[in-house]
Structure 1
Amino acid sequence: MKEVGVMLKEMNRREFLKTSVVTGAMLMAGDALKGGATVAYGAIKIPEIEKLVITVITDNYYDCLRWNLYPPDFKMVKRYMIGPDSSFHAEHGLSYYIETWMGGKSYAFMFDYGLDFQGVSKNIELLNLDLNQLEAMGISHGHFDHWGNLIAILKHNRTKIRKGIPLYVGEETFNRRFANLPAGRYDPSGMQDLGQLKREEIEALDWVKIIEIKEPTPIVPGAYLTGNIERVTEYEKGSPILFIKRGDKMELDLFMGEQSIVFNVKGKGLVVLSSCAHAGIVNTVKHAQKITGIDKIHVVIGGFHLIGAPIAKIQSTVADIKALNPDYIIPMHCTGWEAVTMFEREMPKQFIINTAGTRYTFTTP
């Protein structure tokens, strides 16, 4: 971490952001295919990284007794173990602190921010995460359990998070969202307001630079946002209860702008990280393979949004992920108990259960 500066070392910020423009020029022109961007095979030349560290700041589940379930020489998974004065916070939310290593230098960014400021802030402190080292920030999509804590983090860490830091978002991140829940729970109509992240509130802080993307885009060296994800499977159609407000219209939300992240670990293959994968986790992985031109999947990790899904959809998802044969599968957040247990049953040697506070380290052989 000592080698990380406020600015990138071998690639300054201006030069780095130019690669986004180059990447966009490499994409095929054309209309959306099945609701996602049509891109050329191998559209991006994703660099190999020597090491990737993903720290799960918060997630839905925490188990303080899972710390000792791996042998001492198994270094890939490190659990946080609580003590009398260090209770850890879990919630229906998700937040990552991610570091890539290239040429012996590390680059850090945050992706999603959870909900509860006190809980997430305490977790950041307990995990010894240094917000001074952040080169960038990103939001996966416009649901409150991923952005709810963002503005509080920015306000309370102005002395740590550098001014002008880029905040990457996909299209429609700032639209208001709704869920059509059983009538009477929150609203007699059954339509629950899920809130809205407001661009003007972020801009009023005068602290971050919002960058909205549609194409695969580097967020830091060695980490690419997927851009809008192409929809290719027949069964990943999204949720019939989730809606988005566009102007005066309430429309079914297809999450066209939701972002996942792809990495290329040298000698291991792709690591595909999602937050909710509303586009479908199989679509997401296949999109990552297509844009990079790399078929080998090392890890699929994140929320897969299969909670409440029909059993046939869960079965198809698990079967297709199994056919892709990743070295590891790490479902979390909104995946749902039925899907998590099916992944464990069908892929027992590849399955890892996540808990909040887990640090995953993926390295070149």
Structure 2
Amino acid sequence: MVKDTQLLEVDEVKITIIMDNTVDVFMTDNEIVHRFDLGSDFPPIAEHGFSAMIQVKSGNKQGAVLLDLGISSSGILHNMDSLGINATDIQAIILSHGHSDHTMGLPGLIDKLGTHKVPLISHPDAFLDKKIIMPGGDEINISPPKLTALQQEKITFVKKSDPTLLVDDMVLVSGEIPRTTDFEKGFPLHYTKRNGQWENDSVIKDDQCVIVNVREQGLVIITGCCHSGVINTIRYAQALTNSQKVYAVLGGFHLTGGIFEKIIPTTIAELQKINPTYLMPGHCTGWSAIHQIAQSMPKAFIPNNVGTTLVFQGK
């Protein structure tokens, strides 16, 4: 459990996907899923990145946090306007980790916030420079943005590896996630610059998730890229909250590409054991993994899409 604190149950959580890799205006609604209106003359766009607005409500208490900021300021601000999301409603910004496709919208959002100062919750490693070195030697820069002094003054930085409770204890940021499975081994091509030196960082320690506990339904776990592994992430969420019941898992599961596609069958087998009511894989999950999850767990599977809003209500 989180020391001296406890994640409180909520009556409702509403999650709006502000940015993801796909957009499809023909998807239909149901009692849980609400899609973007086809008739709008200002539709959202898709980019390789992730961002989600998480709104919680319990009794007369309510609030909202923003998880991640996509790969560009122009993209995240366009979609916030398109989806009617007001920046001043944001009570905290959370970074799932420090890669560019989750952080590059931060400068634009800070400017849009104006005098509305909010805390930014991240792991201490989140703002370190990062890159991928491909087997052939090509390097891909995936570092977070460099903020100006003025932009930094508009944010209260909360850098910690431990869990953090937000919004009257209704939202839990996991902090650093322990690696306990024997198959989720990280990303061997990943490097982080520490103390002026590049070092291999396959673990990607700054990865974290967001957890909400819906009354009598179970945990809703929202991930950015899940570099810790989706099974490690779920198990840690269960341990932190002392709750085994998982209602929904959504976000990036990072099962794309040759390194990670090998563990898709094992991951799905473990997901079936956990048996969440809903699964909405997106962003870096990858085409193959998404389709295999849909085929293996059709009742739980929800197709992801920019502009999708999920409403999970307690009993």
TM class, shorter-length? over 0.9
Report the equivalent of 2:7.
46
Partner amino acid for 1:169? S
Whether contact under 8 Å (1:140, 1:260) holds in the other structure is yes
Q: Distance in 1 between matches of 2:32 and 2:40?
A: 26
1:1-365 matches, cutoff 5 A:
23=2, 25=3, 45-66=6-27, 68=28, 70=29, 74-83=30-39, 85-158=41-114, 162-163=116-117, 165-181=118-134, 183=136, 189-198=137-146, 201=148, 204-221=151-168, 222-253=170-201, 254-308=203-257, 309-365=259-315
Whether contact under 8 Å (2:62, 2:167) holds in the other structure is no
Q: Distance in 2 between matches of 1:212 and 1:120?
A: 23
Unaligned runs of 5+ in 2: none
Deviation at residue 252 of structure 1 after TM alignment: 2.3
Whether contact under 8 Å (1:175, 1:197) holds in the other structure is no
TM-score when scaled to structure 2? 0.94
Deviation at residue 217 of structure 1 after TM alignment: 0.9
Whether contact under 8 Å (1:202, 1:208) holds in the other structure is no
Deviation at residue 333 of structure 1 after TM alignment: 0.2
CA-to-partner distance for each residue in 1:98-154, whole Å, 9 max, x for gaps? 101022321011111112323322211121112222211111111001000101111
Moved more, 226-235 or 112-121: 112-121
Query: Measured at CA, do residues 228 and 191 of structure 1 come closer, stay the same or move farther in structure 2, by a change above 3 Å?
Result: same
Partner amino acid for 2:109? I
Secondary structure of 1:233's aligned partner: coil
Deviation at residue 86 of structure 1 after TM alignment: 1.8
Whether contact under 8 Å (1:301, 1:330) holds in the other structure is yes
Moved more, 120-129 or 246-255: 246-255
Q: Distance in 2 between matches of 1:210 and 1:266?
A: 31
TM-score when scaled to structure 1? 0.81
Q: Distance in 2 between matches of 1:131 and 1:108?
A: 10
Q: Distance in 1 between matches of 2:40 and 2:90?
A: 30
Moved more, 264-273 or 126-135: 126-135
RMSD over equivalenced CA pairs, Å: 1.8
Question: Which structure has the bigger radius of gyration?
Answer: 1
Unaligned runs of 5+ in 1: 1-21, 27-43, 184-188
Whether contact under 8 Å (1:173, 1:197) holds in the other structure is no
Moved more, 297-306 or 308-317: 308-317
Report the equivalent of 1:37.
none
State the identity %: 32
Whether contact under 8 Å (2:98, 2:206) holds in the other structure is no
Query: Measured at CA, do residues 202 and 220 of structure 1 come closer, stay the same or move farther in structure 2, by a change above 3 Å?
Result: farther
Q: Distance in 2 between matches of 1:47 and 1:246?
A: 37
Deviation at residue 84 of structure 1 after TM alignment: 6.2
Deviation at residue 273 of structure 1 after TM alignment: 0.8
CA-to-partner distance for each residue in 1:182-205, whole Å, 9 max, x for gaps? 54xxxxx4122223434x636654
Q: Distance in 2 between matches of 1:177 and 1:257?
A: 11
Deviation at residue 310 of structure 1 after TM alignment: 4.4
Q: Distance in 2 between matches of 1:288 and 1:325?
A: 15
Q: Distance in 2 between matches of 1:279 and 1:97?
A: 22
Q: How many residues align?
A: 312
